[in-house]
């Protein structure tokens, strides 16, 4: 049992082979944080870790003990106004408007396995032996509030999953202004904070800066987790690199407004918190009502960032992603968006499908423009019935024709949105999130439906079900193309809207995946505006970015790989000149980047010449041969596009008998020397073959693979920018 409670010292020790988490019930009856990090031996008590020292200006809990101040005792779930002066984990307003709280330990329970979080995405066990859970019940006796802190430690992963829950047993209603999913006091601040930041078409670039005294935070107030800040941060020791050193990753399993912060005090204690953003959140809890926070994850690595990422990948692949496609390689798709935009008709789609099928493609996805009277982005969101002008025989006919070709068929939806120019808006203008007498901001000529209202969600569900049944869909791309502004609901108390909206999205997803377990969902929000663990619980893959340029994708996919599995990254080969940048990249490089993802094409196949078709056929058969390894192998980053002209990464199978390296050179340089790049993840003892040459694993990992201009398979006549090369590493069988 990896959770021990030491009765005498009232100490909890959660541990497995790699990590320990220690906390205790303090003399003031609240919870103190003692340690989180690499596994330590279990023992009865660790009380020497309590910082008991008299200091001027610190309010003390006991009248006669000037050493016991909450300011200096690391808190497990700090509350306001108690003499702890850093960021609090909970904020409740009650009675005459005061915010005073005093949560004391009441009881706890420990059990094998992990509970489901009602209505929220969360990690899960495949069997009860996978994890052990501790729930600690705290009570505010004056208000009769119950606070439950839940901790799950996974048996074979350095992961702790946390959530918090507040229930009002008191007579009077309270206003809940904030309930963080986790709070963790680390005893020093010698860390660099890593974030994944960006904007539309340049999502999840890796940024790192040393912690400083004061508050530092990332957040979204856009109604979705956002292109701008991902709900992830990591604290790494300054010398930690991809292969060595200590790093702690934090991730919030949530798709709406969030706040993740590190509050460093002048004693250099670093308090990390993650949860729903308090600025757009207020819940009144009446007698008997409760609020459940989303789940937050703490993931540890003592062996650098690659292992941290691999731990996240394993956790998400094995304990978050669900359904038919869990652990399964993904169909090679073609999406018509960049090939046609809104300009298509039935014949064009059928011709494209036929040509795609001949290339070996497995799934045809019809993107935006198939419904209502939609010929541009001005109309029809909300009218989820087929556009008979474009598809005169209906969606069922089109789908059956495509199925007859031996292809799967998928459709694009943007279920959460509405156009003013739609039948739905004529019928239900009150379903839009906007205030009647206030200015309305516009975004892509579309507005956000009030998904906090179950009637709206039910109505959209009915329309989607009809289309899905009619067209026997195999795949759905679920898009969301505007950030929310002037959010006001005609249905809901305003402080609840953002969160109830996300719950509405989750509910619709859950209904659809239960009803259609075979459908592959790909989430999307103008590319990667909602690439978060919450979405992965419902949709095993996400359209990584609207930027389909291979060179831009190096940074986007490299950054995304820090947290999210390769199998979750939607990646397509698109046409040149690239539509976002006008850049010209070789077809081989476009595929060499897209292989490290779900893989597909996004271009007009009818425009391809003979040579391109032959190349694409070869690419598709390569992907079919290696996709299980590419999508689910152990992934290592070797050279960073954020640090130089070259990018390199590799995947290795479990047996360490097969690996694939992707090597990419952004600009051609002149007269450069040979470089040696050390590989990772191989077996030192094994003999491997790369391009007919033999190398031992230790050689490749200690001396390195030699990279030269010739590595890109070029002779001097076809030097150039944006070149790349794959290396297949195969164990030599005796």
Those residues whose C-beta lies under 8 Å from the C-beta of residue 451, and which sit 6 or more positions away, are 416, 457, 500, 501, 502, 504, 505, 508
Q: How far is CA 219 from CA 261, 277, 322, 500, in A?
A: 8, 7, 27, 18
- From CA 425, how far away is CA 422, in angstroms rounded? 5
Q: Footprint of ligand GLA on residues 611-670 (CB under 6 A)?
A: none
What residues from 330 to 349 belong to the interface with ligand GLA (CB under 6 A)? 337
Q: 196: closest CA among 580, 595, 533?
A: 533
Nearest distance from C-beta of residue 444 to ligand GLA, angstroms = 8
Least separation, in Å, of the C-beta of 280 and ligand GLA? 24
- Of all helices (H) and strands (E), which one includes residue 701? helix 697-702
Q: Give the nearest distance from C-beta 548 to ligand GLA in angstroms.
A: 9
- H or E element: which one contains 31? strand 31-38
Q: Which stretch binds ligand GLA (CB under 6 A): 75-83, 244-252, 522-530, 605-613?
A: 522-530
Cis-peptide, bond into residue 432, ω within 30° of zero = no
Residue 484 CB burial class (10 angstroms; 0-12, 13-18, ≥19): buried
Stretch touching ligand GLA by CB under 6 A, among 265-273, 433-441, 523-531, 719-727: 523-531
| Interatomic CA distance for residues 62 and 69, integer angstroms | 9
Task: Report the C-alpha gap between 507 and 455 in whole angstroms.
Answer: 12
Q: Which is nearer to ligand GLA, 234 or 525 (CB)?
A: 525
The least CB distance from residue 203 to ligand GLA, in Å, is 11
For ligand GLA, which is the closer residue by CB, 564 or 664? 564
Vertex 272 angle, CA 501 and 177, to 5°: 40
Which is closer to ligand GLA, CB of 304 or CB of 527? 527
DSSP bridge pairs for 6: 11
Q: How far is the CB of 419 from ligand GLA (least distance, A)?
A: 12
CB contact at 8 A, 80 and 110: no
Sign for the pseudo-dihedral over CA of 211, 232, 30, 5: negative
Q: Which is nearer to ligand GLA, 528 or 586 (CB)?
A: 528
Region from 126-134, 293-301, 426-434, 524-532 binding ligand GLA, contact rule CB under 6 A = 524-532
Q: Are 92 and 77 in contact (CB under 8 A)?
A: no
Cβ-based nearer residue to ligand GLA, 294 or 527 = 527
Do the Cβ atoms of 311 and 158 come closer than 8 Å?
yes
Q: Minimum distance between the CB of residue 528 and ligand GLA, rounded to whole angstroms?
A: 9
Segment lying near ligand GLA (by CB under 6 A), choices 390-398, 506-514, 519-527, 613-621: 519-527
Angstrom distance (rounded) from CA 251 to CA 429: 37
Dist. CA 608–CA 721, nearest whole Å: 22
**71/367 with CB nearer ligand GLA:** 367
Q: Residue with structure tokens 């729903």?
A: 276
CB atoms under 10 Å from CB of 219, counted, come to: 16
Query: How far is residue 490's CA from residue 404's CA, in Å, rounded to a whole number?
Result: 46
Binds ligand GLA (CB under 6 A): choice among 130, 246, 368, 500: 368
Instruction: Give catalytic residues, as residue numbers.
Output: 479, 546
CA–CA dist 607, 108 (Å, integer): 65
Q: What is the DSSP letter of 289?
A: -
Q: What spatial distance separates the first Cα and last Cα of the chain, rounded to whole Å?
A: 43
Our finding on whether 103 is near ligand GLA (CB under 6 A) is: no
**Least Å from the CB of residue 351 to ligand GLA:** 21
How near is the Cβ of 481 to ligand GLA at its closest, in Å? 5
CB of 341 to ligand GLA, least distance (A): 8
Q: Cis ω on the peptide bond leading into residue 577 (within 30° of 0)?
A: yes
Is the sign of the CA dihedral 233, 235, 238, 241 positive or negative?
negative
The two three-digit tokens of residue 719, written as one number = 């030097």
Residue 299's DSSP bridge partners are 159, 249
Tell me how far CA of residue 540 lies from CA of 171, 201, 623, in angstroms: 44, 21, 19
How are beta strands 600-602 and 572-574 bridged, if at all? parallel
Determine how many CB atoms are found less than 10 A away from the CB of residue 639: 19
Q: Which of 412, 475, 531, 695 binds ligand GLA (CB under 6 A)?
A: 412
Which residue in the set 306, 526, 571, 631 belongs to the binding site for ligand GLA (CB under 6 A)? 526
DSSP state of 712: G
| Shortest Cβ 337–ligand GLA spacing (Å) | 5
**Burial 674-693, CB ≥16 within 10 A → b, else e:** eeebebbbbbeebebebeee
Which of 56-64, 87-95, 483-491, 521-529 is the region at the interface with ligand GLA (rule: CB under 6 A)? 521-529
User: 258 has which bridge partners?
Assistant: 220, 276
Nearer to ligand GLA, 525 or 705 (CB): 525
C-alpha separations of 321 from 194, 223, 535, 541, 596 in Å: 25, 23, 9, 9, 18
In this structure, the strands spanning 283-285 and 214-220 are unpaired
Among 367, 522, 532, 731, indicate the residue that binds ligand GLA (CB under 6 A).
Answer: 367
Residue closest to ligand GLA, measured at CB: 368
Between 220 and 251, CB nearer to ligand GLA:
220
In the complex, the smallest distance separating the C-beta of residue 561 from ligand GLA, rounded to whole angstroms, is 20
Which residue spans within 598-683 are E strands per DSSP?
A: 600-602, 634-639, 646-652, 658-665, 675-677
Label residue 543 exposed, middle or buried (CB < 10 Å: 0-12, 13-18, 19+): buried
Minimum separation from the CB atom of position 421 to ligand GLA (A):
15
Query: Least Å distance between CB 600 and ligand GLA?
Result: 12
Closer to ligand GLA by Cβ: residue 10 or 481 = 481
Name which of 323 and 527 has its Cβ closer to ligand GLA: 527
Contact track, ligand GLA, 536-565, x by CB under 6 A: -------x--x-------------------
> What x-and-dash track marks residues 449-488 binding ligand GLA by CB under 6 A?
------------------------------x-x-------
Question: How many other β-carbons are positioned within 10 Å of the β-carbon of residue 718?
Answer: 10
* Interacting residues toward ligand GLA by CB under 6 A: 337, 367-368, 412, 479, 481, 524, 526-527, 543, 546
């Amino acid at each position: 049992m990896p959770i021990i409670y030491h009765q005498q010292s009232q100490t909890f020790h959660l541990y497995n082979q790699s990590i320990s988490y220690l906390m205790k019930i303090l003399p003031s009856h609240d919870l103190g944080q003692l340690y989180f990090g690499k596994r330590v031996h279990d023992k009865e008590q660790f009380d020497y870790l309590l910082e008991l020292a008299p200091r001027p200006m610190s309010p003390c809990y006991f009248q006669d003990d000037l050493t016991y101040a909450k300011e200096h005792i690391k808190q497990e779930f700090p509350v306001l106004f108690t003499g702890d002066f850093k960021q609090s984990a909970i904020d409740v307003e009650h009675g005459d408007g005061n915010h005073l709280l005093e949560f004391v330990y009441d009881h706890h329970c420990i059990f094998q396995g992990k509970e489901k979080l009602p209505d929220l995405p969360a990690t899960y066990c495949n069997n009860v032996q996978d994890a052990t859970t501790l729930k600690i019940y705290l009570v505010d006796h004056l208000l009769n509030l119950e606070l439950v802190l839940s901790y799950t430690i996974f048996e074979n992963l350095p992961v702790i999953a946390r959530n918090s829950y507040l229930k009002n047993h008191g007579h009077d209603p309270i206003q809940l202004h904030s309930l963080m999913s986790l709070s963790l006091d680390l005893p020093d601040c010698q860390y660099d904070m890593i974030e994944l930041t960006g904007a539309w078409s340049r999502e999840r670039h890796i940024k790192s800066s040393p912690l400083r005294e004061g508050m530092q935070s990332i957040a979204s107030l856009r109604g979705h987790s956002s292109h701008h800040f991902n709900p992830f941060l990591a604290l790494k020791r300054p010398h930690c690199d991809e292969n060595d050193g200590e790093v702690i990753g934090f991730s919030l399993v949530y798709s709406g407004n969030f706040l993740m912060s590190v509050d460093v005090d002048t004693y250099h204690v670093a308090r990390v918190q993650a949860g729903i953003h308090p600025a757009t959140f207020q819940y009144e809890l009446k007698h008997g009502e409760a609020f459940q926070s989303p789940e937050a994850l703490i993931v540890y690595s003592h062996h650098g960032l690659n292992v941290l990422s691999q731990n996240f990948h394993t956790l998400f692949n094995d304990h978050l992603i669900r359904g038919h496609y869990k652990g399964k390689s993904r169909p090679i798709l073609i999406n018509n968006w960049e090939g046609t935009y809104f300009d298509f008709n039935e014949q064009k789609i059928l011709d494209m499908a036929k040509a795609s099928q001949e290339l070996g493609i497995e799934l045809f996805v019809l993107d935006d423009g198939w419904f209502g009277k939609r010929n541009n982005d001005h109309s029809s969101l909300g009218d989820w019935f087929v556009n008979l002008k474009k598809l005169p025989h209906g969606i069922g006919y089109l789908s059956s024709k495509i199925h007859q070709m031996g292809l799967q068929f998928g459709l694009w939806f943007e279920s959460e949105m509405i156009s003013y120019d739609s039948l739905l808006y004529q019928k239900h203008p009150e379903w839009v999130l906007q205030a009647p007498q206030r200015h309305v901001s516009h975004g892509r000529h579309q507005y956000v439906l009030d998904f906090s209202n179950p009637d709206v969600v039910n109505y959209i569900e009915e329309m989607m079900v009809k289309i899905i049944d009619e067209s026997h869909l195999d795949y759905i791309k679920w898009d969301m193309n505007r950030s929310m502004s002037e959010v006001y609901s005609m249905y809901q108390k305003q402080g609840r809207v953002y969160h109830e909206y996300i719950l509405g999205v989750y509910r619709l997803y859950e209904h659809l995946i239960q009803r259609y377990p075979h459908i592959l969902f790909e989430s999307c929000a103008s590319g990667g505006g909602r690439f978060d663990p919450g979405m992965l619980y419902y949709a095993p893959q996400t359209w990584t970015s609207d930027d389909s340029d291979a060179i831009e994708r190096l940074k986007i996919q490299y950054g995304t790989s820090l947290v999210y599995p390769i199998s979750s990254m939607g990646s397509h080969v698109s046409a040149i000149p690239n539509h976002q940048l006008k850049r010209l990249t070789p077809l081989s490089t476009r595929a060499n980047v897209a292989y490290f993802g779900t893989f597909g094409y996004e271009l007009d196949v009818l425009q391809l010449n003979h040579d391109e078709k032959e190349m694409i056929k070869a690419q598709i058969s390569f992907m079919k041969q290696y996709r299980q390894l590419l999508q689910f192998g152990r992934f290592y980053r070797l050279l960073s596009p954020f640090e130089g002209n070259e990018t390199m990464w590799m995947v290795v199978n479990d047996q360490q008998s097969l690996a694939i390296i992707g090597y990419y050179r952004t600009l051609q340089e002149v007269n450069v020397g040979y470089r040696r790049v050390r590989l990772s993840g191989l077996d030192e003892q094994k003999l491997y073959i790369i391009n007919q040459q033999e190398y031992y694993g230790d050689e490749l990992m200690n001396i390195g693979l030699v990279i030269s201009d010739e590595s890109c398979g070029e002779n001097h006549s076809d030097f150039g920018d944006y070149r790349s090369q794959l290396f297949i590493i195969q164990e030599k069988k005796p």
